[in-house]
Amino acid sequence: MTARSQSNAPRRLHVTPLEPASRSVKLALHEKRLDFDVTDERPWERAPSFLVLNHAGETPVLVDSPRDLAEGNCVVCGAGVILEYLEEAYGGPALLPEAPGERAEVRRLMAWFERLYAPQAGWPLLFERVEKRRRGLGSPDMGVIKDALLALRWHLDYVSFLAERRHWLAGQIFTLADVMAAAHLSCADYVCELPWDHFPEAKAWYARAKSRPAMRTILKERLPGTRPPPHYDDPDF
Amino acid sequence: MTARSQSNAPRRLHVTPLEPASRSVKLALHEKRLDFDVTDERPWERAPSFLVLNHAGETPVLVDSPRDLAEGNCVVCGAGVILEYLEEAYGGPALLPEAPGERAEVRRLMAWFERLYAPQAGWPLLFERVEKRRRGLGSPDMGVIKDALLALRWHLDYVSFLAERRHWLAGQIFTLADVMAAAHLSCADYVCELPWDHFPEAKAWYARAKSRPAMRTILKERLPGTRPPPHYDDPDF
């Protein structure tokens, strides 16, 4: 079951709606002002037509048709891989700094959200609140949600720690670290009221991120049957 | 409890012995012929002196002192991040191809081993066979080992699928995909006899990897109290 958008952009992004990994790539494409079409996937159904694109059976997948590519399309799998690819294949606003040490700091924080935040906090919240219904797996486990929210406070504290010291998470410029963090935290913010007021520096950073045109576009998206809290897409929350 | 090696190399790598992530960085440093000293860590003890290096509390961590860095050291955290850093900060043999699409294929396979192979097969095997004893957590669970070995066969089958089509895993040249795969599979090969003979293409690829000087250096390392199978460091296994 796929929803195809209508234009004829030179690239198509296969996503799962309200999935942080998919959202991070959408956000980067908007930041870099690259046109794209979207196909909504249901990767847990393991359809052969999707598995042939990505043997790992995961979204996001970008099917790109760069002008200078003589033979066919370029299929790029996985959020981190696509984000690096977009930096290397296209100009436009740079989302990675120049110096190797600064690039490493951006990537450290990307990995933080993918490898620590997601399994400890983001994924259990989204799984209980959204995925279980989407996949017909029963009702949410409130104990899991409670533990995930506790872990989430620790991660918001870390975002505050960073935001006290830097304008954006990895330094003075907006980078893929902010893209990844905003993608992950905004998905959690859709399914529950995050305690932003307890973490004022994190909140100030997130307000800056929400004010960016790319993020405002993303925050307009709605998952059928699930409504976010009122402050969700308000930059002055 | 740290074991410090003796030279005065311009960089120090903090590792956990027989950990695939740490091993992948050692392997890349040897491949790129960059000198380094090693500190063995016990990250599960969460010592403040190590947490201050990496807030995530994980090995590997590279403390680098590049000649052109005016102020102090550069601390780089996490295998994937360090491998990218070494490519960007140093010349020497390139472990990433030039074209963005080919680089994406290398990174897809790196992510395959870190995000699919490790949780499904590599980590449960190493946890049951090595980590439990190292951390005083009791005896191995044979059911977990059996499931992990089943998953491992599926991954060896995928390596065969790739090696039937390509000389190295991501294409014609040896890349970070081979580094990551060899690091992960060699750690599993240390703790149990992998069924290489059932996957002849994967075996032929691994024999090529084992013949490289960098890999031969790594395969000489021994974990006190644990002996690998006889074929472990033999390129003609």
Does B89 contact A82 at a Cβ distance shorter than 8 Å?
no
- In B50-79, the residues whose Cβ lies within 8 Å of chain A are 55-56, 69, 74, 76-78
Name every chain B residue with its beta carbon within 8 A of the beta carbon of A69. Answer: 101
Q: What pTM did the predictor assign?
A: 0.95
Does A82 contact B100 at a Cβ distance shorter than 8 Å?
no
Lookup: tokens for A118 = 């997601």
**Whole-number Cα distances in Å, A185 to A181, A215, A220:** 6, 12, 15
Does A81 contact B56 at a Cβ distance shorter than 8 Å?
no
Lookup: tokens for A135 = 């996949």
pLDDT at A71 over 80: no
Q: Which of A108, A112, A162 best probes binding to B when mutated, by most B CB atoms within 10 angstroms?
A: A108
Q: Look at residue A68 in the predicted model and tell me its pLDDT.
A: 61
* A14 part of contact set with chain B, CB < 8 Å: no
Distance in angstroms (rounded) separating the CA atoms of residues B51 and B49: 6
Q: Look at residue A9 in the predicted model and tell me its pLDDT.
A: 75
Does A111 contact B55 at a Cβ distance shorter than 8 Å?
no
* A166 part of contact set with chain B, CB < 8 Å: no
- Read off the pLDDT of each residue in B28-49 and give the average, rounded to a whole number: 96
pLDDT at A2 over 50: no
pLDDT at A1 over 50: no
> Chain-wide mean pLDDT for chain B?
94
Q: Look at residue B67 in the predicted model and tell me its pLDDT.
A: 66
Residue B3: pLDDT band with limits 50, 70, 90: very low
Q: Look at residue B68 in the predicted model and tell me its pLDDT.
A: 60
Distance in angstroms (rounded) separating the CA atoms of residues A62 and A71: 16
- Our measurement of the distance from residue B13's CA atom to the centroid of its chain's CA atoms, rounded to an integer in Å, reads 13
* B155 part of contact set with chain A, CB < 8 Å: no
Q: Look at residue A72 in the predicted model and tell me its pLDDT.
A: 64
Q: Look at residue B4 in the predicted model and tell me its pLDDT.
A: 47
Q: Look at residue A22 in the predicted model and tell me its pLDDT.
A: 98
Q: Look at residue A4 in the predicted model and tell me its pLDDT.
A: 47
Q: Look at residue A67 in the predicted model and tell me its pLDDT.
A: 67
Q: Look at residue B2 in the predicted model and tell me its pLDDT.
A: 41
pLDDT in tens, B19-38: 999 999 999 999 999 999 99
pLDDT at B11 over 50: yes
Does A85 contact B100 at a Cβ distance shorter than 8 Å?
yes
Note whether ipTM > 0.90 here. yes
- Read off the pLDDT of each residue in B188-215 and give the average, rounded to a whole number: 97
- Runs of H (alpha helix) within A32-138: 48-51, 79-89, 100-111, 123-126, 132-134
* A11 part of contact set with chain B, CB < 8 Å: no
CA-nearest residue of chain A to B86?
A100
Distance in angstroms (rounded) separating the CA atoms of residues B74 and B68: 11
